[in-house]
């Protein structure tokens, strides 16, 4: 098994355990930010809005789990 596939499998298993422990896991992907060719283009004001929105969703979440904008 390739390292990337192994990492995805491990991450999926860990994410399943998150609700059992009563916590939220917030996943912030580079695609949530302005980016070019896979690299984040830093715009501090926009970056703060992205992070604030995801953390706000986690705080409003009534059931523990994974918070992400990607599938």
State residue 48's pLDDT score: 96
State residue 39's pLDDT score: 93
State residue 70's pLDDT score: 66
State residue 71's pLDDT score: 56
Q: Tell me the CB-side half-sphere exposure of residue 61, using CA atoms within 13 A.
A: 19
Task: List the chain residues with pLDDT less than 50.
Answer: none
Contacts of 41 (CB under 8 A, 6+ apart): 33, 34, 35
DSSP code of 6? H
Please tell me the pTM assigned to this model. 0.68
């Amino acid at each position: 098994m390739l390292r990337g596939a192994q990492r995805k499998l491990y991450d999926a298993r860990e994410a399943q355990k998150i609700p059992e422990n009563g916590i939220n896991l917030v996943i912030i992907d580079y695609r949530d930010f302005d980016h070019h060719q896979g690299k984040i283009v830093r715009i501090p004001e926009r970056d703060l809005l992205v992070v604030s929105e995801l953390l706000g969703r986690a705080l409003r979440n009534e059931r523990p789990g994974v918070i992400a904008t990607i599938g």
